[in-house]
């Protein structure tokens, strides 16, 4: 038994332009982050921490969005750049994965009534990876589905349940393990479910701008061949223009 704790802080810069492509609004997103990862395994006398430092960079150069009477739709291409510290030969925790990853995503929020106060959402993302730095290891491709069910009140508050499910759809390669061991490892999977709440607030310095506060707490369920725990997410979003 042991513990793995990760703290990550991300500054998300998202821009939606006035330009159209295929009828959708064009936007882009840039997400640099710093993180601290610590591992504690008492039975083997291991207690290591990475300290805070630069993590992998996530960029969405192409993001398209459509708004209809009953639904909002989004799709994008994004990539993870290996800017975080990674050392395949070291036993200490890394802040990065040491590989490039490419992601294609498609999702929608569907409104169940005319006032758009009751809504359900789902977003699917497919992730592909390069080999890890200085190794022959290639992580299997991942399929992630996430979203939620929520209700929005007249005071611009939203309450609901969030979920996610993730499956590794192809095998990891280059691990150097005996074939019998690799066959028994199979592919990992994870499921999560938990409450979510958000609130829109006017900023005193300028009432034309808004701040969105969002809180989410997810419990990992049904994990296979992976760590299991809880995830806390707290977001503050400011509208700059």
pLDDT digits (tens, 9 = 90+) for 66-82: 999 899 999 999 999 99
Q: Is the pLDDT of residue 207 over 60?
A: no
Structural Rg of the chain based on CA atoms: 20
Q: Is 143 exposed, middle or buried (0-12, 13-18, 19+ CB in 10 A)?
A: middle
pLDDT of 209 reads 66
Mean pLDDT of the chain: 89
108, 135 Cβ separation under 8 angstroms: no
Q: Which two tokens stand for residue 148?
A: 């939620």
Q: Is the pLDDT of residue 65 over 90?
A: yes
Q: What is the DSSP letter of 139?
A: P
**Lowest-pLDDT choice from 100-109, 138-147, 189-198, 203-212:** 203-212
Distance between CA atoms of 63 and 115, rounded to whole angstroms? 26
Q: Bigger pLDDT: 133 or 204?
A: 133
Quote the strand ranges of the chain, DSSP E: 3-10, 13-21, 24-31, 33-41, 46-49, 53-54, 57-67, 71-81, 101-111, 118-129, 142-152, 157-168, 189-203, 206-224, 230-238
Q: Is the pLDDT of residue 167 over 90?
A: yes
Q: How confident is the model at residue 226 (pLDDT cuts 50, 70, 90)?
A: confident
Q: Is the pLDDT of residue 1 over 70?
A: no
Q: How confident is the model at residue 162 (pLDDT cuts 50, 70, 90)?
A: very high
pLDDT of 94 reads 82
Stated pTM of the model: 0.86
Q: Is the pLDDT of residue 122 over 70?
A: yes
């Amino acid at each position: 038994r042991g513990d793995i704790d990760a703290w990550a802080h991300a500054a998300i810069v998202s821009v939606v332009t006035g330009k159209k492509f295929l009828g959708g609004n064009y936007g882009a997103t840039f997400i640099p982050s710093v993180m601290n990862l610590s591992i504690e395994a008492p039975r083997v006398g291991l207690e290591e921490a990475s300290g805070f430092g630069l993590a992998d960079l996530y960029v969405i150069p192409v993001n398209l969005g459509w708004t209809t009477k009953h639904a909002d739709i989004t799709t994008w291409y994004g990539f993870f750049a290996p800017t975080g510290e990674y050392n395949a030969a070291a036993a200490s925790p890394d802040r990065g994965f040491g590989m490039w990853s490419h992601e294609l995503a498609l999702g929608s929020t569907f409104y169940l009534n005319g006032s758009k106060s009751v809504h359900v959402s789902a977003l699917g993302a497919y992730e592909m990876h390069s080999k890890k730095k200085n190794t022959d290891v290639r992580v299997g491709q991942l399929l992630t589905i996430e979203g939620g069910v929520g209700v929005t009140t007249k005071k611009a508050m939203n309450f609901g349940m969030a979920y996610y499910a993730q499956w590794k759809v192809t095998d990891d390669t280059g691990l150097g393990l005996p074939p019998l061991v690799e066959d028994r490892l199979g592919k990992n999977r994870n499921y999560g479910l938990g409450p979510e709440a958000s609130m829109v607030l006017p900023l005193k310095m300028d009432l034309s701008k808004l701040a969105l506060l969002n809180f989410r707490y997810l419990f990992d369920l049904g994990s296979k061949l992976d760590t299991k725990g809880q995830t806390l997410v707290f977001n503050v979003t400011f509208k700059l223009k």
